[in-house]
Structure 1
Amino acid sequence: MTSVETVAPELIEAAVRAAEKFGRDIVDVPVSAIAAEAQMSRSTLLRRLGGSRGVLDAAVRAAGIDPGGRPPVRVRALTAAAELISENGLAATTLDIIADRAGCSVFSLHSVFGGRDELLRAVFDQYSPIRDLEDYLAAMPDDLGATVHGVYRTIADTLSREPRVAPAMLAEVYSRPESATVQSLTRYAAPRTLSTLGAWFEAEIRAGRIKDQPLLVLIQQLLGPIVVHMLMRPAFPDALDFMLPDIDSVCEHLTTNFLAAVAM
């Protein structure tokens, strides 16, 4: 009789991959789909499991992966990683402590993401401003000033929400720019950011609304002020002789400054 301990790791990995493809808990994935992922027939899979699908689900649970009844490992891991990055910084967020917070095994993280770099890229996709900017610029107003203000507001909202993943990642970029983790994230994020903002800037330059300057300079002039302000803002609490301006006022002033610098 097949026991939990004798279930081959490749069958557990096949179950995890099939669940990811279907977007379901492992217990809800048909045996035939898991068999196909394992490159064998349904009957062969059941024979290797001693005829019981429950043995596979138990083996999955024993490997630290919840086969059902909780959010998928991917969701739990992204949430855990985001919280830990916000609390302790990027460098201190290891796979071991992510797995512990997410209630899964390091093996399951490798099964779902492939490694730490891939997991951090998924966290970046979910919590950085880039996705919000892409959505905003896809439906931006036909007015340069309104668009710039909207960009600033979008970034401000992203950098101020909890968990504070984007500020923690930016802090790592500034403090350890040559680290392997930062280099990996930069190689992933920079082309996407350049593409998103570059397409907009190039259209504005062709339309004669923005001065023809190097793309990187334009992006730095746009993003630099709001990023610096949002990173420093929590360090300057309200005081009797120093009241922080509200975010909308900051965005309005930065918009005026940017337009004065680059608008035709």
Structure 2
Amino acid sequence: MEIIPTPKTALGRPKDPQKTTLILDAAGQLFLEKGFGATSMEAVAQRAGVSKQTLYSHFGGKDDLFKHVVANKVDHYDLAAFGRTLTWDLQQDLHALGKLFLSLLLDAEAVAMMRVVISEAHQNPRIAEMFYAMGPSRIIETLDTYFQEQQRRQALHLEGVYQPSVLFLNLLKGEWHMQALMGLSPVVSESMLDQHVTACVQQFLSVLRG
């Protein structure tokens, strides 16, 4: 199964992984503290302890940096790399993906970044486009690819099911994601998470199987 890649940095000499991590951490902190619009590349370089030349050798500009910050959070939960851990048991795979996805949705930094995007999107629609492309869209594409392969293997039939990947992911969101966005900080234990994902997988498969 094809893995959805992270965005590419500019070509050139191999980048220092340690400096890349420092830059991404610094940028993520500043985007959350100041917002996208008020964060400058100079401030990122200063926070990361690198020169502006080093910063621009790793990332082409603020847009490129923001895309990598979002992609890095998705990659932290292995969502776009889901294909590396497949068992091809439909219920087991969906349960594993569901737990990863819901854990990402409830991640405090991910929730805070979504708030930043929502608050600035009306003035700068590009930030929403970048966030969606590097976050939700990559996850949906990964799940689309998985479902297509399962259909090829005749493990499920998608005829008549509208946007199955979106349907499954929206089932998983439940009320916890909305509560988190509103700052209500839902307390979700591991057992609650597991029970919720199990129920969502069962509901989703019942739709597919009619």
Q: TM-score, normalised by structure 1?
A: 0.58
Does 2:53 correspond to 1:125?
Answer: no
Deviation at 1:152, TM superposition (A): 1.1
Does 2:153 correspond to 1:209?
Answer: no
Deviation at 1:90, TM superposition (A): 4.0
What does residue 8 of structure 2 align with? none
Determine if contact 1:237/1:244 at 8 Å carries over to the other structure: no
Which structure has the larger Rg? 1
Deviations 1:143-171, CA, capped at 9 Å, x for gaps: 22222111110112333446x1x334444
More displaced 10-residue stretch of structure 1: 100-109 or 206-215: 206-215
What does residue 208 of structure 2 align with? 262
CA distance in 1, matches of 2:91, 2:62: 40
CA distance in 2, matches of 1:204, 1:213: 16
Determine if contact 1:125/1:131 at 8 Å carries over to the other structure: no
Q: SS at 2:78's partner residue?
A: helix
What does residue 108 of structure 1 align with? 54
Q: How does 1:185-200 map to 2 (within 5 A)?
A: 185-187=131-133, 192-200=138-146
Q: Which has the higher contact order (CA 8 A, sep 6+)?
A: 2
Deviation at 1:254, TM superposition (A): 1.9
Output the amino acid matched with 1:261: V
Determine if contact 1:121/1:188 at 8 Å carries over to the other structure: yes
Deviation at 1:107, TM superposition (A): 3.9
CA distance in 2, matches of 1:210, 1:173: 36
What does residue 9 of structure 2 align with? none
Question: For residues 197 and 222 of structure 1, do their structure 2 counterparts lie closer, same or farther at Cα, with a shift above 3 Å needed?
Answer: same
What does residue 221 of structure 1 align with? 167
Determine if contact 1:136/1:151 at 8 Å carries over to the other structure: yes
Deviation at 1:96, TM superposition (A): 3.4
Does 2:53 correspond to 1:139?
Answer: no
Output the amino acid matched with 2:84: A
Q: CA RMSD in A?
A: 3.3
Deviation at 1:260, TM superposition (A): 2.5
CA distance in 2, matches of 1:120, 1:195: 20
Gaps of 5+ in 1: 1-16, 25-70
What does residue 250 of structure 1 align with? 196
Output the amino acid matched with 1:211: L
Percent identity (aligned): 22
Output the amino acid matched with 1:100: Q
Residue in structure 1 matching 2:42, options 86, 96, 106: 96
Deviation at 1:200, TM superposition (A): 0.8
Q: How does 1:38-53 map to 2 (within 5 A)?
A: none
CA distance in 1, matches of 2:159, 2:113: 31
CA distance in 2, matches of 1:263, 1:90: 44
CA distance in 2, matches of 1:91, 1:220: 30
Q: How many residues align?
A: 192
Deviation at 1:187, TM superposition (A): 4.7
Deviations 1:54-84, CA, capped at 9 Å, x for gaps: xxxxxxxxxxxxxxxxx42x22111112223
Q: TM-score, normalised by structure 2?
A: 0.71
Output the amino acid matched with 1:236: L
What does residue 167 of structure 1 align with? 111
What does residue 100 of structure 2 align with? 154
Output the amino acid matched with 1:209: L
Question: For residues 118 and 228 of structure 1, do their structure 2 counterparts lie closer, same or farther at Cα, with a shift above 3 Å needed?
Answer: farther
Question: For residues 130 and 77 of structure 1, do their structure 2 counterparts lie closer, same or farther at Cα, with a shift above 3 Å needed?
Answer: closer
CA distance in 2, matches of 1:228, 1:172: 22
